Amino acid sequence: MHEASLAGGVLQLVDDTAAREGFARVTLLRLEVGALAGVELRALQFALEAIAPGTRLADARFEFDEPPGQAWCMGCARSTPLARRGDACTHCGDYRVQPTGGAELRVVEMLVED
């Protein structure tokens, strides 16, 4: 489960930011996890909750935004929604699509306390 590794990376980002900005703990952490990011949302939430005790994430609330996948179709030269990697263009059925959005995993918001 790579979500545990991702949760560790998020914790490292929080610790690095806390060292730079001087806060003690996070009360809300909002992440954007795109539909094409290859991340199981419930597993990531579980991993974050599992590593939180004793860290700056202890008792933090976790929220997730899940933007849909978007792609550029090389067959019809149009933007198309993409539910999963490997799906065809919804306009022309071509499989030559290049993801353009919804593959990100990023911190969107952190509410912190001193």
Domain boundaries, the chain: 3-69+100-113
Structure tokens at 39: 């991340």
- Does the structure show a pLDDT above 80 at 1? no
Alpha-carbon distance 59 to 107, whole Å?
18
Which CATH fold topology does 3-69+100-113 show? hypothetical protein PF0899 fold (3.30.2320)
Mean pLDDT score of the chain: 96
Please report the beta strands in the chain, taking only residues with DSSP state E, as ranges in sequence order. Answer: 25-33, 61-65, 69-73, 79-82, 97-101, 105-113
Share of the chain above pLDDT 70, in %: 99
- Beta strands 69-73 and 61-65 are unpaired
Share of the chain above pLDDT 90, in %: 97
- Does the structure show a pLDDT above 90 at 64? yes
Q: If you average pLDDT over residues 90-106, what whole number do you get?
A: 96
Structure tokens at 67: 């933007």
**pTM, full prediction:** 0.86
- Does the structure show a pLDDT above 90 at 10? yes
